[in-house]
């Protein structure tokens, strides 16, 4: 019993602070059959739902690869439609259900919130990342968005020591706008702010980590982006693999996403131990990630593919306002953020990046 008690603060964060589940609501908890989501985590989430008086139903189905647009069973969609709130508990490589174009369009149609669990182990659900005060995280999001929109214009500039040098525009329509819960879809724990870059988008993006590969790539993947499209892919075997993947899909070379990480407690060691850096690793404060393929809310970006890669340390500015400076998330120094953090503990500890 003591073990599950350690998980309950994180589970309550998910249920109350992200999904805003209320008494009487019907919650669907969707699992796959890989066994990679620890049963104790599922039990803790279900218990947190029951604590608020919600009715929880657990559905288990086969694995579909969301990033490749593989179809989801109509039976699963029917169960989702009957629920008030969705919580997905899939293996990390499939956790980004919103990257499945059919799922994203379905979710938009039914207008119900969906939280995607990316803490598959008891240790992660009990970690400072999962138990981070939600009010503080939402304030970090809001302050970052405000600073970005206070710049002289909407142009962004992304650079990194690995050779990344990308410029474009932000429309402030996604992660820099809809950054307060409850949202249509979000990871738990969260920690990144993503946008569809607006034209003109040009430059070089280099991936040190990439979906489908564990840890650091043997050789970085270098993408040349010209007017929103990847025109060149350079690197070793991983680069050839990505180029082949993009060319299998219509509009697979469309450069669809740029994002920064702002969560100081997203754990790097655990993030490097799986083949899904777009879950744990790229929530990390000071990181960036980018993607090719679909962006579900843009009609011209309707590829079935969505594939991410990124880097742990970058510099990112919007309109001359520096949001990340050489891997440091500058908003974490904001006096109002530090004052709010002091309500929950030592600001130096709460806002300092863990190893």
Q: Which residues pair with 289 in a beta bridge?
A: 259, 310
Three-state secondary structure call for residue 41: helix
What is the three-state SS of 148-189?
HHCCCCCEEEEECCCCCEEEEEECCCCCCCCCCCCCCEEEEC
Encode pLDDT of 171-191 as tens digits. Answer: 888 888 766 665 689 999 999
For the chain, domain boundaries? 2-125, 134-351
Encode pLDDT of 22-75 as tens digits. Answer: 999 999 999 999 999 999 999 999 999 999 999 999 999 988 899 999 999 999
- Both tokens assigned to 129: 């990342």
Torsion region of 20: left, alpha or beta (phi above 0 gives left; psi -120 to 50 gives alpha): left
Given a contact cutoff of 8 angstroms between Cβ atoms, the answer to whether 254 and 312 are in contact is: no
pLDDT at 355 over 80: no
Nearest to 324 by CA among 82, 157, 103: 157
Quickly tell me which residue has 């993006």 as its tokens.
205
Query: Average pLDDT in the 225-244 region?
Result: 98
**Range 2-125 classified under CATH 3.40.1050.10:** no
Encode pLDDT of 99-118 as tens digits. Answer: 999 999 999 999 999 999 99
- Across the chain, mean pLDDT equals 95
């Amino acid at each position: 019993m003591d073990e599950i008690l350690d998980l309950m603060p994180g589970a309550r964060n998910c249920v109350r602070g992200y999904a805003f589940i209320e008494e009487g609501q019907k919650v669907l908890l969707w699992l796959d059959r890989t066994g990679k989501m620890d049963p104790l985590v599922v039990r803790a989430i279900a218990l947190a739902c029951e604590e608020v008086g919600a009715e929880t139903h657990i559905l288990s189905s086969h694995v579909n690869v969301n990033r490749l647009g593989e179809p989801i069973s109509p039976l699963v969609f029917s169960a989702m439609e009957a629920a008030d709130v969705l919580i997905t508990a899939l293996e990390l490589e499939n956790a980004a259900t919103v990257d499945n174009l059919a799922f994203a369009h379905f979710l938009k149609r039914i207008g119900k919130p969906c939280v995607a669990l990316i803490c598959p182990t008891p240790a992660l659900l009990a970690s400072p990342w999962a138990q981070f005060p939600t009010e503080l995280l939402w304030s970090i999001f809001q302050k970052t968005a405000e600073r970005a929109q206070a710049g002289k214009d909407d142009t962004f500039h992304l650079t990194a020591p690995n050779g990344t040098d990308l410029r474009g525009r932000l429309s402030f329509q996604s992660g820099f706008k809809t950054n307060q819960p409850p949202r249509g879809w979000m990871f738990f724990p969260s920690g990144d702010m993503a946008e569809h870059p607006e034209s003109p988008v040009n430059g070089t993006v280099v991936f040190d980590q990439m979906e489908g590969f564990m840890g650091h790539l043997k050789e970085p993947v270098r993408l040349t982006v010209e007017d929103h499209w990847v025109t060149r892919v350079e690197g070793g075997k991983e680069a050839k693999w990505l180029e082949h993947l993009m060319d299998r899909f219509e509009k697979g070379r469309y450069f669809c996403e740029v994002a920064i990480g702002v969560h100081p407690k997203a754990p790097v060691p655990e993030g490097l131990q799986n083949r899904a850096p777009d879950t744990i690793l790229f929530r990390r404060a000071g990181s960036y990630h980018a993607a090719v393929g679909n962006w579900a809310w843009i009609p011209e970006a309707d590829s079935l593919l969505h594939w991410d890669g990124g880097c742990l340390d970058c510099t990112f500015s919007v309109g001359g306002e520096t949001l990340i400076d050489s891997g440091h998330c500058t908003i974490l120094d904001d006096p109002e953020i530090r004052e709010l953090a002091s309500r929950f503990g030592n600001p130096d500890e709460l806002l300092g990046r863990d190893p």
